[in-house]
Every structure is written in C-alpha cells, then in structure tokens.
Structure 1
Amino acid sequence: MIKYTLILSVVILFSCKNKPTNQTNIVSESKNTLKETDQNLEKETITFPSKDRLPITADIYKIKEAPITVLLCHQAGYSRGEYKDTALEFNKLEYTVMAIDQRSGKTVNNINNQTAIAARSKGLGDTYLDAKQDIEAAIDYIYNQNGGKQILLVGSSYSASLALLIGNNNSKIKAVAAFSPGEYFKDIDINKAISTYKKPVFVTSSKSESAGVTTLVNSINPGYVTHFIPEVKGIHGSRALWKTTEGNETYWTAFGGFLSSLKVL
C-alpha cells in the first residue's frame, strides 16, 4: 500500500547474505554517561574488525536496555561525527543506535575518522566501494549483539547508495533510509541493482537533488518506497536532520512517520 505524507512539503511515492561472521568481537571500549541529555542514556566508543580485519571505530548511543537496531553511516569526507546530535534524536524516539567510521572519510564536528586513519596507516584502499565491507561488518556486529533483531540501515550520500545496495538482499536489514543516494559508483548501476527490493525504503535529499533520486529509485515497486521532497532548499545527505538545517523539522516528521510504519524494530 502506497503511503502519502504532507507536512509543509510533499511526500511523493515513485515506482520508484552476508555470511555471518564470528570475528566481530569488541577489541576496545570506552564509556561515558550523557548527563547533559538523560541519565538513562549512555555512549560507548568501540572498535571491532571489518571483513579484512581493519579496526572500525563506532559510537553506540544507548537508550535504557534497548538493543541496537539502527546503523548510521556517514557521507564522503566525514566521520561518525555526522550523527553526533542526530543520534540523540533517535534516542528520544527510544532507539539505541550505532554510528560508524567508514574507511572512506575524514572529519566532521571535530570528530576524526579513526577507521580512515587506520586504513591509510595500513596502506589499504579507501574508496567508496572499499567502505562497503565496513558497513557489512557493522551489520554483522549489531545482529550478533542484539540477539538477531533486524535493523534499520541509514546511509548518507555515497553510503546511502551503499545502504540501498547492501540492504536489498540482506535478511538482517528490515528497512533502509537513504539520504541523497545517487549513482556514485563507476561500475555499478544502482537503479538496476535495487529493482528487486521488497522491503521498506525511505529516500530524501535536497530539493534540487530530488529529480535524480526519483530516477534512482523508479525501478523499485512503489509500494515499498516513501520519497520525501522538501519544499525548502534542503541540504545534501543526513545533514537534513541537523538542527542547523532549514526545514529539518519537516524532514524529521516525514522520517518519523516512516519509522512509525516499521512495526517491529
């Protein structure tokens, strides 16, 4: 059933395995309580191995005893710091989330991408596609830690396209949210690769990017797609959810409606 949402903007619907691993053990961990927000919230910074053993750095924002059910992936040139404040908004919705550093990225919000630093020190590739294995390893890690609960995979810019690509046939993924996805990979046709989707997909972008996003997802059965197009200018990637972005409230309302439609997460 196609879903429509109007909130100072227009939501338009368009017709638009991984092998589990037992090697995703935590190898380092630190904790601090987020006293400035809620005494029931806790943040952990951990590392665990990617598929090629590169250590991935991640922040886990915990709410009470809730298991991790949301994986947050950053855009090009950024780090897990892209979700420094957004993660707390997820906490308010009672989700425990994990934001990772992929090996393709640098710094944002004064948080350095430690996975990228480690990759460079080891002489490993740091292209967008090289980062795919980091996201896959993070999915396996969360799934093994949360008792086998399906998760929401959230991507921003290049990682939004990777999220769509990975989430399609991964049974550990319940739904995908893609902020400013695009055809970012030279040898992969994302539109064609995601044509067989049979799970909920939320896509959005800046207003100027919306036509391209429409084309990107038009191969998916429209019953699975919720496409939010802002009336305001908007912005590229998950920065649309930042408090500093004009119209962020409308993005959150549309995204929140999508989250509510996921019966179990």
Structure 2
Amino acid sequence: MKEWNDELLRWDPKDFGGLEMIRIPCERIWLPDITCQLKLGSWTYNGFEVDVTNRTDEIDLNNYVKNGEWDLLRADIMRNVVVYPCCTEPFPDVTITLVIRRKTLYYIYNIVLPCMMLSVLTLLVFCLPPDSGEKIALGITVLLAFSVFMLAISEALPETSESIPLIGIYLTVVMAITSISVIVTVVVLNLHYLGPRVRPVPAWLNRRLNVMLLSNYPKLRRRYTNPLFLAQTRT
C-alpha cells in the first residue's frame, strides 16, 4: 500500500460537523504514478468490520488447468495483518504468490535450432568456390532469414527498453557477422576475378608499409639501411 500527502485534500473537522474520515472513489481524486502489488483484502473496512482469512495453509490446485506455455512451480498463500500509522485498526489481507516458469521446448524447436542451422549456413559461404556464382546469394539469403526471425520475435516480445532478451542479442550479433561475411565475400570475389594482373603498390601505401616495417623490426631496418644491400638493389 502506497501513501502520499495531498495538500488540496484537507479540511477542518469543525467546519463539517466533526467529520474526520471520508471514503472517495479513486477516479475522483488525483493519483500518483505508483506500482501496486495485488492483494486480496478490504481497504475500505478495517479488520474489526471485515476479516479476511485463508481456510488452509496451501492453495487448492484441484481445478488448476495446465498451460502449454508456463509451468507452475510453486503456489504459496499467506495472511498478513498490517496496522498503519494513520489508524489503530488492523487491516488483514491474504497474499498469494505464484512462481511460474516458461516452457522452453517450443522456443528450442521454433527459434533456437533454426537460428543455429542458419549460423552454420553462414560458414558455408566461405566453402563455396568463387566460380559457382552463389556465394553472395547464399549470404544475402541467410541475412534475410535472420531479419525475418528478428521481426517474428519482436512481435512476440513486450515493447520495453529496460532490458534486451538474449535471443534478440544473439540474432543481432549473428546478423552482424553475416553482414561482415557478405562484405568479405565481395572482397574475395574481386580479388579472384582480378586475375594474375600485377599492379604497382600505391606510393602512400608503400611509404606506410616501409615506416611500419622499419620501425617494428630492427633487423629488417639494419638490412635495408646497409650500403652493401642498397648497392646490390641498384645494380
């Protein structure tokens, strides 16, 4: 139960015939944004007027119907008696706690296993020969399949930004890897169809490689700066 002070909801009992307590429907007063816990009890009458109690210490599950998506792990019932600072009367309530767990068989066969098989197909992109002409087509097909899975999962999950489900993170990472594999495949095909033609190394790349090699490998630097080696390369 949440409590707050409303400065606009006050009166002097002397002006209203000694009236000290009223009951107003919640839709007629201002309510803050609060999160409530569901309890079985009376908030209008105290425990001396209406007593709430549980007949047994265990919940009767004879009429429980099993669900295909959730498993009921535990069901507890507890009676609480609370005395609030504003009142001297007790307010009893009965709190029922249900512990449930989602069944995983449906998601394993319909989401996890297809995603694993598509991940294996991503690796097969590098096994196809370049002359087959299907390397890029296979990579794009796998990428589209992951996109369809992402759309299907996003429709079944609640729209929240507080946490990201693990299956969503997995699909995002695999889609990123598949995109990188398509890019690498394009580079490999360009190198393959480039043929045996020899092109000179660009001047900027040549200078960059020389600086990196000579600074990181002292032996190589001594060799290239040796006058005898320079004389042999010139001849």
Same fold by TM-score, threshold 0.5 exceeded? no
TM-score tier by shorter-chain length is under 0.3
TM-score (norm: length of structure 2): 0.21
* Structure with greater Cα Rg: 2
Q: TM-score, normalised by structure 1?
A: 0.19
Q: Which has the higher contact order (CA 8 A, sep 6+)?
A: 1
